[in-house]
Amino acid sequence: MQIKDIIKKVKQIEIRTRKKSEAALMGQYHSAFKGQGMTFSEVRPYQSGDEIRRIDWNKTARFREPYVKVMEEERELTMMLVVDISASMDYGTKTQLKREFVAEICASLGFSAVGNNDKVGLILFADKVYKVIPPRKGRKHILAIISNILTVDYIPAPSKIDAAMEYMMGIFKKKSLVFLFSDFEDEYDSKMLRVASKKHQVLGMRIFDEKDNEIPNVGYSLFTDAETGKQIWANTSSSRWRYDFAEAQKQKVKKVEEDFENSSAGFMNMNTGEDYSKFLYQYFRKK
């Protein structure tokens, strides 16, 4: 992709996503993530309606009347975009490649975060972490993130989601909003997902092309695994073969969904070209 084509693509994504993020999506994001915690502000006498759990018992005992701790919301959040750049993400048979769809969703999330005065960072990974863009604020920063997702070299290697999450846990100690983008075609250790979800608020986003789930009848064909280079011949004219393939994919997705649910993390399953804003709107609304 030439420089002028990259700039054009980034501008197109910015225009499309700003329309989404500046409307209802940004409002829901702001409502859902006004603050990740509370910090101590002051102590004052108890007033009718104050929560009992806020009572400062030391102060109460000293002055022989009830006092409560006043807390302030921590407003600044950090959003981490963790993006799978294994070769299977550089693929698409419909209107978009998976990487382009991810870039657009990340732009929409990023602009929503900017509108909330939050920081946004990026981790690009496959079999290991290949690039990290530290969390910052501002429109130019979001445009740089979009550009990186579009232009990075996608790696012909299996993705290691658990390794990416472990890396993030080691670098970013503060509780963050973590959006994990992958097609989840490769194996991973669900234990690290559970550990990450205890510290951070995690949403897994499976990005898939319709041909990932079902293969049409194209006769006797040679298939190549984009990540391992392994090749197999398959008779796709066999209805049994197509059924077995589709069922195996359904079971794989079901397992991923269960892993996220058991980890108390969110999960979305989105086909390239779908209206992702309604999925995000519903997710933010639940929060």
pLDDT of 162-203, one tens digit each? 999 999 999 888 889 999 999 999 989 899 999 999 999 999
User: What's the pLDDT at 3?
Assistant: 59
pLDDT of 128-159, one tens digit each? 999 999 999 998 999 999 999 999 999 999 99
Best-predicted range by mean pLDDT among 2-6, 111-115, 231-235, 277-281? 231-235
Residue 63: which domain range? 37-74
d(CA 260, CA 267): 6
Instruction: Tell whether 155 and 218 lie within a shared domain.
Output: yes
Instruction: Tell whether 209 and 248 lie within a shared domain.
Output: yes
Instruction: Tell whether 66 and 132 lie within a shared domain.
Output: no
d(CA 139, CA 18): 11
- The arithmetic mean of pLDDT across residues 11-39, rounded, is 65
> What predicted TM-score, i.e. pTM, was given to this entire model?
0.81
- The arithmetic mean of pLDDT across residues 207-213, rounded, is 92
User: What's the pLDDT at 19?
Assistant: 62
Number of structural domains (the chain) is 2
Q: Which amino acid is at 176?
A: S
User: What's the pLDDT at 145?
Assistant: 95
Q: What is the mean pLDDT of the chain?
A: 86
d(CA 80, CA 185): 22
274 pLDDT exceeds 60? Answer: yes
Instruction: Tell whether 46 and 122 lie within a shared domain.
Output: no
Instruction: Tell whether 178 and 276 lie within a shared domain.
Output: yes
Contacts of 202 (CB under 8 A, 6+ apart): 178, 180, 193, 196, 260, 263, 265, 266
User: What's the pLDDT at 286?
Assistant: 78
User: What's the pLDDT at 227?
Assistant: 85
The radius of gyration of the chain's CA atoms, rounded to the nearest angstrom, is 22
240 pLDDT exceeds 60? Answer: yes
What percentage of the chain exceeds 70 in pLDDT?
A: 87
Instruction: Tell whether 106 and 184 lie within a shared domain.
Output: yes
User: What's the pLDDT at 59?
Assistant: 87
Of 54, 74, 94, which marks where a domain is finished?
A: 74
Instruction: Tell whether 55 and 153 lie within a shared domain.
Output: no
Best-predicted range by mean pLDDT among 17-26, 63-72, 78-87? 78-87
Contacts of 181 (CB under 8 A, 6+ apart): 81, 82, 83, 84, 102, 105, 106, 205, 207
Instruction: Tell whether 69 and 179 lie within a shared domain.
Output: no
Closest CA to 175 of 94, 137, 119, 224: 119
Cα 197-200-206 angle, rounded to 5 deg: 60
Instruction: Tell whether 95 and 9 lie within a shared domain.
Output: yes
d(CA 59, CA 122): 45
287 pLDDT exceeds 70? Answer: no
User: What's the pLDDT at 158?
Assistant: 92
